[in-house]
Amino acid sequence: MNQKRRLIGRRSFLFGLGSLATMSAVATSKAAYQNQQIQALDNPNRNFIISEGLSLKERAAKKGIIYGAAAHNIALSSDASYAAAIVQNCGVLVPELEFKWTAGNATLRPSPDRFDFSKADWMANFAKTHSLLLRAHTLVWHDSLPTWFDKTVNSHNAAQLLENHIQTVVKRYAGKIHSWDVVNEAIQPEDGRNDGLRMTSWLKVLGQNYIDLAFRLTAAADPKALLVYNDFGLDYDTPDQEARRTAVLKLLERLRTKGTPIHALGIQAHLSPGEKKFNPSKLRKFLQDVASMGLKIMITEMDVVDKKLPIDVKVRDRIIAGVYEDYLSTVLDEKAVIAVITWGLSDRYSYVNESQPRSDRAPVRPLPLDAQMQHKLAWNAIARAFDHAPKRN
């Protein structure tokens, strides 16, 4: 018996060693693949020369495109240099926290029967004072919901709550909003449903029609705003992102067939060089498919996550700039793309600092301005993409 146990123990030890060796071989080959990708992205001879003078919003506007950034009240109210950079560069402002149900210091929905518009109003006033368009994000999302939500909401009261939320919030800002992200991140093929929808609290209580309902309520409350479905993970040539693109197209088709008042797709474009393969022709085809449904397209949350890139700032900035220009020159060729928004403007306030830090703890550099509000090569790259984009009619 003891002898048998010893043999089994020895066997599983050897098996364990074998699978450890396989795992480390996979990790090594993944790391080698990533290194190769990164080396291929770095071209020391690539230039990011631009003509001097114009800001990003001006270069975009010359082509009929809107450029802007997300920002939150915490940074804008306390940092004059950041506020000035936003005003100088942006044609549109996206409140990063303030129109969500609850996020950071902003809680629009403190309880089921109360609204607190103080932070959202502050952002709307900032936009108005500085003549920026205002893009609101977001009415229906599985994230950033208050803790009372899951305890209170059920299939009997959910439609009423959604209607009350949309009517109250959307009507308050009606006529002042360029575009609303009505529904955010509703696709998740991994959740195993045939329609590719994410299993969210909203889906559980309202069924798949919650998306159509949200768009109809929003259109009724603000007939002027552009109504957007917004999602991430649509950029790269990987099986999971292919599945996400397919599911998004199916969702858009279903909505169009039903006559849902949807006007645009928001592609977040949180890019991660070195991790996944970029294939311009696949992306172009996806954009054409969306455009052929009569929808506009907005790049809504662009940044370049530099977690896997070399620590050397010169090399890192050059790769990041290349990623910006390659991506934007591809998408801006499609005239249905009407706006480019970066998720922040300066590295000082990027959410990547908290959510995707580097393992070496070096400060991240995902945005067009550095932490001192100086232009980086990424700024030039975005400028070049606007300068070379075809003019919208």
User: Is residue 100 near ligand G3I by the rule CB under 6 A?
Assistant: yes
- In the bound complex, what is the minimum distance in angstroms from residue 199's beta carbon to ligand G3I? 18
Q: What are phi and psi of 311, to 5 degrees?
A: -70, -30
Contact window for ligand G3I (CB under 6 A) among 15-23, 101-109, 150-158, 190-198:
101-109
User: Is residue 104 near ligand G3I by the rule CB under 6 A?
Assistant: yes
Angle at 95 between CA 313 and CA 209, to 5 degrees: 115
Q: Please, are residues 303 and 343 in contact by the beta-carbon 8 Å criterion?
A: yes
Report CA dihedral (250, 252, 258, 262) to the nearest 10 degrees: 170
Taking the least distance from each CB to ligand G3I, the nearer of 266 and 273 is 266
Q: Looking at 351, 356, 363, 373, which residue binds ligand G3I (CB under 6 A)?
A: 351
Q: Please, are residues 282 and 239 in contact by the beta-carbon 8 Å criterion?
A: no
- In the bound complex, what is the minimum distance in angstroms from residue 9's beta carbon to ligand G3I? 46
Distance CA 142, CA 150 (A): 11
- In the bound complex, what is the minimum distance in angstroms from residue 341's beta carbon to ligand G3I? 11
The residue among 363, 323, 365, 366 whose CA lies nearest residue 343 is: 366
Taking the least distance from each CB to ligand G3I, the nearer of 106 and 226 is 106
Q: What are phi and psi of 218, to 5 degrees?
A: -65, -45
Taking the least distance from each CB to ligand G3I, the nearer of 2 and 147 is 147
- In the bound complex, what is the minimum distance in angstroms from residue 96's beta carbon to ligand G3I? 5
| Bridge partners, 263 (sequence order) | none
User: Is residue 144 near ligand G3I by the rule CB under 6 A?
Assistant: yes
User: Is residue 268 near ligand G3I by the rule CB under 6 A?
Assistant: yes
Window 282 to 321, contacts with ligand G3I (CB under 6 A): 301
- Give catalytic residue positions: 185, 301
- Long-range (24+ apart) CB contacts under 8 A made by 242-245 are 242/282, 243/189, 243/196, 244/187, 244/189, 244/196, 245/286
Taking the least distance from each CB to ligand G3I, the nearer of 48 and 180 is 180
Q: Phi-psi category of 192—alpha, beta or left, where left has phi over 0 and alpha has psi -120 to 50?
A: left
- In the bound complex, what is the minimum distance in angstroms from residue 99's beta carbon to ligand G3I? 10
User: Is residue 105 near ligand G3I by the rule CB under 6 A?
Assistant: yes
Taking the least distance from each CB to ligand G3I, the nearer of 117 and 351 is 351
| Bridge partners, 197 (sequence order) | 187
Q: Looking at 66, 90, 103, 205, which residue binds ligand G3I (CB under 6 A)?
A: 103
- What's CA 17's distance to the chain center, in Å? 41
Contact window for ligand G3I (CB under 6 A) among 61-69, 98-106, 194-202, 379-387:
98-106
| Bridge partners, 95 (sequence order) | 71
Taking the least distance from each CB to ligand G3I, the nearer of 350 and 380 is 350
Contact window for ligand G3I (CB under 6 A) among 97-105, 241-249, 284-292, 331-339:
97-105
Task: Tell me the H-state helices in the chain.
Answer: 2-41, 56-62, 73-78, 80-89, 118-129, 148-152, 158-172, 201-206, 210-221, 239-258, 280-291, 313-332, 352-355, 377-388
Distance CA 344, CA 349 (A): 7
User: How do strand 264-267 and strand 92-95 relate by DSSP bridges?
Assistant: unpaired
Which positions from 355 to 384 touch ligand G3I by CB under 6 A, shown as an x/- string?
x-----------------------------
Q: Please, are residues 149 and 112 in contact by the beta-carbon 8 Å criterion?
A: no
Window 174 to 203, contacts with ligand G3I (CB under 6 A): 184
Give the interface size with ligand G3I as a residue count (CB under 6 A): 15
User: Is residue 96 near ligand G3I by the rule CB under 6 A?
Assistant: yes
Taking the least distance from each CB to ligand G3I, the nearer of 99 and 386 is 99
Interface residues with ligand G3I (CB under 6 A)? 74, 96-97, 100, 103-105, 143-144, 184, 232, 268, 301, 351, 355
